[in-house]
Chains A and B, each alone.
Chain A
Amino acid sequence: MLSGGGGGSGGGGGGAGGGGGAGGGSGGGRSPKPSFVSYVTPEEINLTEKEISRKEKQPDLLQGEVIFCSASPIRKCTQDDFSQRGIFGSLFCTNFRISFISDETQLEEEEGQVFKNKLYGENDIPLTCVDNIYRGFDEKKKLITSGSVRNKYPSKIIIHCKDLRVFQFSLAFAKEEDAKKIFQGIVHHCLEPKSLKCIFAFSYSEKMTFSSENQTKLKTVMFDSMVDWAQEMKRTKGNCKLVSANADFNISTKLPQFFIVPLAVSEEDFTQFQGKGIPIWCWSHHSGCALFKTASLPLMQEDGCSQSYRTYMERMLNAVAQNHLYSVKTEELPETLPTIQDIQQSYNKFKQFFLVDNTTEFWMSDVKWFSSLENSGWLDIIRQCLTKAVEVVECLENENTNVLIMEEEGSDLCCVISSLVQVMLDPHFRTLEGFQSLVQKEWVAGGHHFLDRCNYLHKDKELQSPVFLLFLECVWQLLQQYAPAFQFSETYLTVLSDSVDVSVFSTFLFNSPHHRATTIQPVSLLAQKGPLNLPTVWDWSVQFNSAAQDFFTNPLYVEKSRQDKVPRKTFRPKHQRHQSLPSTAFKSSPKKSFFKDETDSLKKMLRVKRISRWLNPTDLTQSTTREFYEAWQRKPLDYHGLLLPCVDGPALRVWAQRYLRWLPEVQIFGGGAMTLEKKLVDLLAEVRELRGKLDWHCSVDFSHRGAAALAGSSVRLSSAFPFFVSRTWSFKPAIPSCLQKNLITGTFADKEDEDSECLGVI
């Protein structure tokens, strides 16, 4: 690494070699070329260079995007080949992103970049995507926190992104003043608290016209109107009550404008505790039982309120129970699941394994990979969520019991569990549009505090937690276990997880529907301005062209056709699903008998003690859940039916595409799962073409839906495709550098070889 020195003659000379040559110079190298003789002072070089780059190179600004500051020459240290060479260019900080523009022209052609994001390129970091910034010195790095920076600036900054990219920029070649400015600019815009209106989405949408047109084109149900909810209830044949009393947020600012409750909940109930404690309908099982969620009341308090809470909750539970067979099971999610702080802490540990600054560090961490992974607890949290969801599924599917899940706000783990349950039970939510509708229903309308959880405004770190990512992780586990059941691909989930941090989409900008409505709707005064029209993330054309969007669909998915349904009926008689479960396991279970019996016993029960848990010890729950899974597993797998995840140790895996895509050490050149998918997609395209020809012969109009972008593309594939396309097709293998010495041996070291004792004879 170059020492700091802020543009000493050696450093400046090297910079000129790379930067001034704009295109010719291959960009510095690890150290300045000793043969280069500098005839001008470094200051002069910097000046001329700055002028050149200012004139010629600028990021392509989006609508409403403005540059705050810039500096050049800046060296971006790259790792994608093993020489650690750098690229010279200019660094910009705008109200949307940090952008590095290379001086090397050939890089800009970017041929073969099929999967290009329209909003930001590979050298751009949306401000909200910045996770941490470090100052780099020697081989170490130190975290920069907001407010800690005043007049100094480091020679190198390291930026860790939320999408797991790592950037290293050397500021040592830029003019001191510029370097200071860009450094402070970046730190200010990425780390300091700011107001919501400073988020780029607002500047962006002012200049853009999106498209109520585009939105109507979308098939995603947004759940922001009465009709959406009514249709969803109709689709699932639910028998509940649609409430519009909160259309102007008169009942509660925490509830959505429209929601559904059990029939027995009355108008007076709504207002009693500002929307807390109201069982909100999520989804109805075909048997009639349903899943509800609620923001729970603090039942444990021993003050005067608790009695009124208690009677209120009893009434609510009764209402839920009446929905179907007088049965209800309640679950206080925080009692068995990790808190949002646990989730954040665990993820913080976990992500470090992928934010690797150099090759040595990578191979160091490789040795203890499995135990480090375990220590982070991330996979375990995923397992807990999946297991909890299976428990709920068991109640709905097996016992046909209503379920009420509870949590303080009802908008974190409730969202995770309720949406997971629906993904497992309802194949509709495994289609692309269905899945998007589910996120709208449970997360956006459900009031998940996206803004706080993502901490875009850098206000309260305590509230930050990747709860939505956790949900996507769980869905990914299901996807990798039962790929043909999902219409969307792994790439889709990865892109969705990235999109959360792009700060352009209304989907992830607010803490609740109320928050959204009040922010977007101009409150009188400037009445001539209409409501802001922010794009939704589901309008994928904002980020990707249609060829790139082809990567979102899963070539393994086959729609269930009507043709197919007919013969299956003979296979599976109407109520076989229930018959085929091992009835004995559940009949004997005390868990079942409890609520199902009579209303009386329910009422008695409610009066006696609080009913906020499964009514049996957890180990028993586990064993019946296990039996439930095993019974399901013994049956033939129906990709259009119920899906239950296997949560055994070997079955849960790391989402390799999301987490490993930027690490050069683990790129499998010419390999990876994409090579397989390409074969499939190619064949699919071929079959489609043949089908087209056939239809043409039979003079049927054939709409040739764009054959997937993969087909026929000459891009060199690797395991990181489509995210990371290597230009330098490396034929150099990655050789682990620090293999653990003296692995175990001990007992065996002395008798090195099997036949060593015979050797003396020879």
Chain B
Amino acid sequence: MASTPVSTSSPQEESPSKTVTLPEVPLLPGEERVIDKDIIYMCPFSGALKGKVFITNYRLFFKSTDVEPVVVLDVPLGVISRVEKMGGASSRGENSYGLDITCKDMRNLRFALKQEGHSRRDIFEILFRHAFPLSHNLPLFAFLSQEKFADNGWNVYDAKHEFARQGLPNDKWRITHLNQNYELCDTYPTVLVVPKKATDEDLRKVAAFRSRGRIPVLSWIHPENQAVIVRCSQPLVGMSGKRSKDDERYLELIREANGTVRLTIFDARPNVNAVANKATGGGYEGDDAYQNADLVFLDIHNIHVMRESLRKLKDIVYPNVEESHWLSSLESTHWLEHIKLVLAGAIQVADKVWSGSSVVVHCSDGWDRTAQLTSLAMLMLDGYYRTLRGFQTLVEKEWLSFGHKFASRNGHGDKNHTDADRSPIFVQFIDCVWQMTKQFPTAFEFNERLLVAVLDHLYSCRFGTFLYNCDSARNTNDVRTKTVSLWSLINSDKAFYTNPFYTVESSRVLYPVASMRHLELWVTYYIRWNPRIRHQQQSPMEQRYRELLALKAEYLKKLEELQLSDSDAHLSNSSAPSAQQAEQLSNSTSLPTQRVTHMSNSTAPSTQQVTHLQTPF
């Protein structure tokens, strides 16, 4: 994945035991070499670089041949959104003939070839076929991969199990299997939690009044005040202002379940957009129809606005960071402003629920902005989702099972790069999570590496996790049996993705500050390809902390040895627990430290770092 001129192999990609290393390219099990070719990589940072490109059914791999340090590109084909020919056979100028590759992960790649004998024809066609397999009736790499992991990530999420954790079903809420065969709603999961008093017949009637049958269902319940977050799509009000008694009664049932005085309906859209939707049969809950509810618009814009915003952001950070007017350029992308709006919306949702009022959240279809809002609010309210496992559950539940259209939004394996359905909604969500981890650095069990890994594999198509648009499609295509889950990779190397500063405070609600003063651009993701941005594999803070942990373990061990030699005569009972503790500590720290030194050959060996630590006191 790394394209920095400094030769580093990407941390996320390495699973040393599983890679089969051929002479040049590290191949994954199931990965096959298709073509290799001498080529010139037009590196925007270090100029034209001669080297060799290898294309497999999973990746594009480039290695420079005549510069030190060696420049390596390792790009999963899934990341590619567009491949174009650059220049013609008669183009003048050096290196003007070649390929131009646009990537989904904030970079572009340019390769130049010799201007004779159609030298790029074969590589272009092969790249085009394998980068967009679905457009050529080829399978995605996830279905070809033979990777094996110790942990099976498909077992991470079980809907009933998760609802049981929340204390559901209970006397007010029941689990329904009405959608067992995706008949009620083909983009919802099979297991749904609805008010106990609502009959299956009620649900069917409500489904008829909600866009795409996405009825209001429970996402989360507060363990004490029993206030709930309910998600759905917009009501089909239309120009004529239709009403549905069933829908109105159904929302009343939701309100009554915990005695909420007034139900708050958060419509994620800007007011004008909600009104505009009436023209196409949608709309919002009117005051007359829903008398015990307050409607609040959260002013979050649609997928097209977000796509444009990220495109503008890419323009100012790649290949070079805008120099003269960085701040106003950043502002003009509106990216952080959108982040602010999404966070501000989620804060309002969380605040209502925390104070005991149930809420309903929807946008138009309830699979983009709604997923952002519910999942972020749940992250603020429930410490479980801030654990490594809990976060996976959250993504599986609010995003995957409730039908965020991962395939359409990211265009997996599809050549149509101008598709208006594409939009970085999930990237935006991960960015919001990152903003929260920055503001609460001890509240999350997972670290930044996890967030980057999730985004990398959002596009890579190496795992089945983010394939297809909804549960039913994943079922039809046997994703669970034919592909590997991303969580298998993650959970087989937990220490690497763990935040050492994590402090368990699960019951505490976290409200991030949604002010521009605190929001910052996620430089280590959006500008990671720029070698001028210093990439620290580990923050100094984290490194120091791990060193101290190692030191603590060492001292405990020494202390225990001393006590043992003392206690030959009189048995000391304090030595046993400390020994245990030391054992645990050394276990928990040794792994990541090793990993880090393994990755960055620039830093001194870890043993050395630990030894020079003994002096400062």
Contact = CB atoms under 8 A, between A and B. Distances in A.
Counting chain A CB atoms within 10 Å of each CB, which of B334, B363, B531, B612 scores highest? B612
Given A733-B347, A734-B515, A752-B276, A558 B612 contact: yes
B420 interface: yes
Counting chain B CB atoms within 10 Å of each CB, which of A483, A683, A733 scores highest? A733
Task: Please classify how large the interface on chain B is, using the bins under 10, 10 to 19, 20 to 34, 35 or more.
Answer: 35 or more
Contact of B548 (A481, A687, A731): A687
A650 B344 contact: no
Given A370-B327, A675-B440, A750-B276, A762 B552 contact: no
A669 interface: yes
A695 to B, nearest CB: 10
A737 to B, nearest CB: 10
B323 A744 contact: no
Given A636-B602, A676-B442, A735-B347, A743 B299 contact: yes
Contacts, number: 271
Interface string B250-286: 0000000000000000000110110011001110000
A561 interface: yes
B552 A567 contact: no
Interface string B578-615: 00000000000000000000000011100010011101
Counting chain B CB atoms within 10 Å of each CB, which of A373, A563, A752, A759 scores highest? A752
A559 B615 contact: yes
A433 interface: no
A646 B517 CA distance: 21
A630 B328 CA distance: 26
Q: Give 3 closest A-B pairs by Cβ, nearest first.
A: A649-B326, A733-B511, A369-B516
Contacts of B513: 665-668, 719, 734
A155 B556 CA distance: 64
B340 to A, nearest CB: 7
B337 A672 contact: no
B534 A633 contact: yes
B441 A745 contact: no
B321 A650 contact: yes
Interface stretch (B74-82, B142-150, B224-232, B502-510): B502-510
Contacts of B138: none
Given A567-B608, A649-B326, A759-B280, A754 B420 contact: yes
Contacts of B505: 670
Interface in A715-762: 719, 731-736, 739-745, 747-757, 759-760, 762
A556 B559 contact: no
Nearest to A663: B517
A241 interface: no
B559 A697 contact: yes
Contacts of B363: 753
28 contacts: A369-B516, A370-B336, A371-B328, A371-B331, A481-B534, A556-B541, A558-B544, A648-B323, A654-B517, A663-B517, A668-B513, A670-B443, A671-B443, A683-B545, A690-B552, A694-B562, A697-B562, A735-B351, A740-B337, A743-B305, A748-B305, A748-B308, A749-B272, A750-B276, A751-B304, A754-B420, A757-B280, A759-B281
Interface in A649-695: 649-651, 653-654, 656, 660, 663, 665-673, 675-677, 679-680, 683-684, 686-688, 690-691, 693-694
A368 interface: yes
Given A559-B615, A690-B556, A754-B302, A679 B331 contact: no
Nearest to A675: B442
A690 B282 CA distance: 66
Interface string B66-98: 000000000000000000000000000000000
Contacts of B338: 743
Interface of B: 6, 211-212, 236, 269-270, 272-273, 276-277, 280-282, 299, 301-305, 308, 321-323, 325-328, 330-331, 334, 336-338, 340-341, 344, 347-348, 350-351, 354, 363-365, 368, 420-421, 423, 439-443, 501, 503, 505, 508-518, 520-521, 523, 527, 531-534, 540-541, 544-545, 548-549, 551-552, 555-556, 558-559, 562, 602-604, 608, 611-613, 615-617
Interface string A561-593: 101100100010000000000000000000000
Contacts of A677: 541
Given A484-B544, A736-B344, A668 B508 contact: no
A509 interface: no
B420 A649 contact: no
Given A660-B517, A694-B562, A679 B503 contact: yes
A342 interface: no
A555 interface: yes
